[in-house]
Amino acid sequence: MNSIQKKVFGSLFCCPAHSTHWEEENNLSHYIFTTLPAISALLFLFPSTRRILTSLRVALVQGVSIMASMQKRLQKELMALQNDPPPGMTLNEKSVQNTITQWIVDMEGATGTLYEGEKFQLLFKFSGRYPFDSPQVMFMGENIPVHPHVYSNGHICLSILTEDWSPALSVQSVCLSIISMLSSCKEKRRPPDNSFYVKTCNKNPKKTKWWYHDDTC
């Protein structure tokens, strides 16, 4: 604290010590000409405080706006999934009873594919930045499809979930991509690095730096 700041703080916070003197002299001018200038000087010396408070207020308003936009978008997509789900997909209604930011979608393997008749579950998690931020999507439950791009912990190697994501896409888009990925599979097998990946990866598949080496991943 420099000498000017010390004087300002001294003038401002030493006021109670002068209260007896003010009462004895009953001199309002003493307060006007000592304390008020000190407060003004304090604000002058620390303009960054005003900037910080203004920035916080703006950020709060923007945050509320983004959350409202996200919830509106999710409500719209939720209704679309309920009323017109992709083939073999059904929204698990219980999963959205208490929250709109985490969905479970029940899935059945398409007829004529290696997964025909098999039942799976997809977990969708949405951040407060959705749809600008892609959802976290993974298979869950006891039956994880055996596929070259699906790890045994449910993580999915699919570019639409990370670098190819766009706010124009939706839950429906993701579901259709996963249906296509499974339906085009020619051989049931795990990714070659499955054991190592499952032991070392983050629980959130979006934290993985995926390497997309073909058109089906």
Q: Is position 157 annotated as part of the catalytic site?
A: yes
Catalytic residue chosen out of the listed positions 14, 15, 157, 175: 157
- Residue 38 vs residues 15, 16, 49: alpha-carbon distances, Å: 10, 14, 16
81 within 8 A of 171, measured Cβ to Cβ: yes
- Residue 197 vs residues 124, 150, 156, 201, 207: alpha-carbon distances, Å: 21, 11, 12, 5, 12
Maximum alpha-carbon separation in the chain: 99
Active site residues: 157
